[in-house]
Structure 1
């Protein structure tokens, strides 16, 4: 019998999948994804679970210290203990450990914000951020996600993927505009990804945030597969897209080259 997929498409291994753990994690993810404390009704809506099940799961997560409940509003939010899980990832991830010094060097050379991110599902997610100037809190935090189809980092990573994998990524979610300048035409995105493959970087003009220009270069493993991207973002008040391509693109490409693993020689 084939493994049964969950609602999220994750396969249940025969006799190994623990459904209660999946439900617990989905509740935790629903609370973490909300940018404000969240109530039982909203968690139930986000997960598709019944309110009584959500009540038991939130109580358990509160008891073990990962959620806290406001006694006045009866709403939940993550606790500082969640950082233990994030710290465990940060100190063991090879890309972060090998790349952080190169990000610092690149940031010092160009005097601008330099970040590093990975592809997670259909999102580009930041795993290291070095802000060069005052910026809003949300934009400075690791863990921030952007749709890969419109983020420079996502497109840079896709530039090292086979065409069929890129098409599968684009087909896996709706291509919605985040700003009036977001490219959502599938064919045009494929052209941009191909251009990034030829140039070694991808630059975007306010496609994720108005007033933000971004440029990214892919990081590859020893087999030439993408494992992440180096990204720099700047303000349209100080930069033009042409200047980003001319001055910042070489900086992120050099950082990505230094972080990438040397390609194995073909036999």
Structure 2
């Protein structure tokens, strides 16, 4: 489990917390670290449970459809997708955003994403693909770091300096590509520019060959809760040209979706 996904409650702090349910979700959350099947021993080690507890929980989750057993071990089951559907259907933001994002995708002819801000990470809730995307670029539910992404910079531009520094100090600021910015002063320079421009840019921060423009989604009090991203390829764009073409459209879409 990574630092952005630690439980918000524990039995030591909350007498209503059900440890058995918490342990079950710890099993499911181990798959955030790998796409490979996991044996019972691997599930136990990754979740911090003993093998007997992992076996009972895995058996229960398999019977309920939240785990499946394949060659090599257990993998997430299809029932997990049902809960994703429930979340997206119940979230009014998604319903309001889809027509606006679809129009943005039609205008820019590049990948369009909407992410939700969750402290150290942004979580993709909507992804409209482009003509050249990789498999992972299509998947909702993927998390990306706040510290080095265009969406993260756009969000931090509407936080206080103290909040931004807190996020950066707690982030695992590692290089995802040779060009990923990890130094706090340099990241703050990008955030400052985003404040001035009303949008943020990034260049090969998460993927080699990718550039992006993003604008923050804000609530009625001006607090950021997510971002709209448009991503393009260095094989087709220079960052300055991409920014001039895309930024006004991204800002307009974010303004239309914001509360």
**Same-fold call, TM > 0.5?**
yes
Provide Cα deviations, 1:227-255, integer angstroms capped at 9, x if missing partner: 11110111110011111211111111110
Describe the SS at the equivalent of 1:11: coil
Q: Distance in 2 between matches of 1:88 and 1:223?
A: 28
Q: Which runs of 5+ in 2 are unaligned?
A: none
Q: Distance in 2 between matches of 1:191 and 1:94?
A: 34
Contact 2:147–2:171 (8 Å) recurs in 1: no
Describe the SS at the equivalent of 2:178: coil
Contact 1:148–1:155 (8 Å) recurs in 2: yes
Any runs of at least 4 consecutive aligned residues in structure 1 with deviations exceeding 6 A, and if so which?
A: none
Provide Cα deviations, 1:33-66, integer angstroms capped at 9, x if missing partner: 4212122222222222222211111111111111
Q: Distance in 1 between matches of 2:240 and 2:14?
A: 54
Partner in structure 2 of residue 140 of structure 1: 138
Compute the TM-score of the two structures, normalised by the length of structure 2.
Answer: 0.93
Partner in structure 1 of residue 47 of structure 2: 47
RMSD: 1.6
Number of residue pairs the alignment of both structures matches? 253
Q: Which runs of 5+ in 1 are unaligned?
A: 1-6, 262-267
Compute the TM-score of the two structures, normalised by the length of structure 1.
Answer: 0.90
Q: Distance in 1 between matches of 2:60 and 2:221?
A: 44
Pair 1:220 & 2:240 matched = no
State the 1:189 CA deviation.
Answer: 0.7
Aligned 1:43-82 pairs, distance under 5 A: 43-70=43-70, 72-73=71-72, 75-82=73-80
Q: Distance in 1 between matches of 2:119 and 2:28?
A: 18
Contact 1:203–1:245 (8 Å) recurs in 2: yes
State the 1:103 CA deviation.
Answer: 0.4
Aligned 1:21-170 pairs, distance under 5 A: 21-31=21-31, 33-70=33-70, 72-73=71-72, 75-170=73-168
Out of 215-224 and 40-49, give the one that drifted further. 40-49
